Amino acid sequence: MLRRLVLCCLLLCAPWVAHALTAAQARAIADGDSDERIAALNAAAADGAPGLGEFVQALLDDAVKVAGEQVFVVRDDKAVDAATGAPATLPAEAEDVVNNNRVRGALNAARAALQLFSPDLATRRAGIAELQKESLEEAQLPLIDKAYAAESDAALKQALDRMRATILVAAPDKARRLEAVAALAGSGQASVASLIQERLAPDAETDPEVRAALSRALEAIRAKLAWGERAGVVFTGISLGSILLLAALGLAITYGLMGVINMAHGELIMIGAYATYLVQNLFRSWLPGLFDAYILVAIPASFLASALVGAAMERSVIRWLYGRPLETLLATWGISLVLMQGVRSLFGAQNVPVENPAWLSGGLQVMSNLTLPYNRIAIIVFAALVLAGMALLIARTRLGLFVRGVTQNRRMAACVGVDTAKVDTYAFGLGSGIAGLAGCALSQVGNVGPDLGQSYIVDSFLVVVLGGVGQLAGTVYAALGLGVLNKLLEGWAGAVLAKIMVLVFIVIFIQKRPQGIFAMKGRSAEA
């Protein structure tokens, strides 16, 4: 029975023993001509020799020494045999292994290539991503072919196929070069376009047929990259439009529905951003394990902070100035200066850091040249939710009914028992709270400082006026339209000229249609 157990163990261990990193392999990888070392490295990687990954890492860490036919890994003044891992005595004549840039690149590629055979999909994906950064050589083709044959994921298999074509595009055989070009034509990566551009150099590819195929492949790749750039511009424009929408939604109530020119609206946005900053610091100090959830608490906190400040503004100053737009403008401008100075006194004049939660970091890669940041996607979704909630509140709730009634006919609303003063406070607090939500969102994509709101106050007024005073639908169209238009013009004329052109467009549009995109309907319009 004991003999059978020993035999079974030997049979199970036989594949490992057959593919173990031998002393000869370690010697060939560590010493000799660069071409010979790289060839030995790729051969060992293709064989899947256990222990190769640790040995490659030791080479990259400059922790390998050679003495005659023996190779040692030295860490913390302790030497072990590179092949067996057994402790060893380091000879006095042992010399350091020196890796030039070419060998170091091959070592990095081999380390990444070893990940291609991992059972974990994420590990294989990381290995392919690392390999795509390295300069691949034809000697690595057997390893990639082996990984391609073993790969089951369609996307990774396609990436390996393009990697193989990248190597074969410079192969001596014309048929293999044409095959490689055909495979590369389906790529949408800028690096592949650069590779084909290099192959089109006069001294790189001389065969007319291959050059024609390379030109066609380059045009196809550039067409795909152009679509990625266009989609990126549109997404950036929608993202900017969603930010403008959040900033303008509160103003659509305070100015569009109530007629108050609130020049402190930007500072209410700033207060929401600073409320987010404070909530972040509280979570970091008291609930570090739940830090990624701080934004869920910051959203209501920013709304309440700005709503309370807005309600205080309305009850103390603005309630005495209804129907006097110039005095309201001057008073709220003064309040904005007070709020900015107050924030400077409390938090300092410098920007404060607001960190994204882990689940809002990174982005979704749609194309090789198009990555959609998660925080921008979240802001677009958040803006849509805030818009939906605000529309439901105005159209379907008792408060919304009172706000619309007071806005349309204050005296009649008072005659039927509506407390117009209280409705004004609630409405102004609601608009201010939505400005705080905008500040919470802006804290995830930009700097938070005392001057944060100054960047959005003018644009917010432009959005409300362009969309039509008191019209939520017009605010949405105007915000998204201005965001996309601004980004399209930036790519053509630059940021400064794009801003000027947008302002000129708005001026001309308002001259032709003073009521905005959607006009407020009244009795005269319905008659």
Say what the pLDDT of residue 46 is. Answer: 74
Buried b (16+ CB within 10 A) or exposed e, 247-268: bbbbbbbbbbbbebbbbbbbbb
What mean pLDDT is predicted for residues 500-505? 85
Q: Work out whether the CA dihedral 362, 363, 364, 370 comes out positive or negative.
A: negative
515 or 433: whose pLDDT is higher? 433
> Which of 445, 398, 466 lies closest to 252, judged by CA?
466
What mean pLDDT is predicted for residues 327-344? 93
Q: How does pLDDT run across 29-45, given as a tens digit for each residue? A: 888 888 888 888 888 87
What mean pLDDT is predicted for residues 208-212? 90
Buried b (16+ CB within 10 A) or exposed e, 194-213: ebbeebeeeeebeeeebbeb
Where do the structural domains in the chain lie, given as residue ranges?
Answer: 14-168, 228-519
> Which of 81, 87, 57 lies closest to 68, judged by CA?
81
Report the top-level CATH class of 228-519.
mainly alpha
157 or 279: whose pLDDT is higher? 279
What mean pLDDT is predicted for residues 206-231? 89
What confidence category does residue 3 fall into, taking pLDDT thresholds of 50, 70 and 90? very low
Residue with tokens 């303008």: 248
Residue 367 host element (H or E): strand 363-367
What mean pLDDT is predicted for residues 218-246? 89
Predicted structure pTM score: 0.72
Alpha-helical segments (H) within 48-100: 52-60
Distance between CA atoms of residues 350 and 358, nearest Å: 25
Q: How does pLDDT run across 250-282, given as a tens digit for each residue? A: 888 888 667 788 899 999 999 999 999 999 999
> Which of 336, 310, 356 lies closest to 448, judged by CA?
356
Pull the structure tokens for residue 238: 């929608």
Say what the pLDDT of residue 274 is. Answer: 96
Q: How does pLDDT run across 184-205, given as a tens digit for each residue? A: 887 777 778 887 888 888 878 8
The beta strands (E) that lie in 274-339 are given as none
Distance between CA atoms of residues 27 and 40, nearest Å: 9
Q: How does pLDDT run across 383-402, given as a tens digit for each residue? A: 999 999 988 998 889 988 88
Report the amino acid identity of residue 498: A
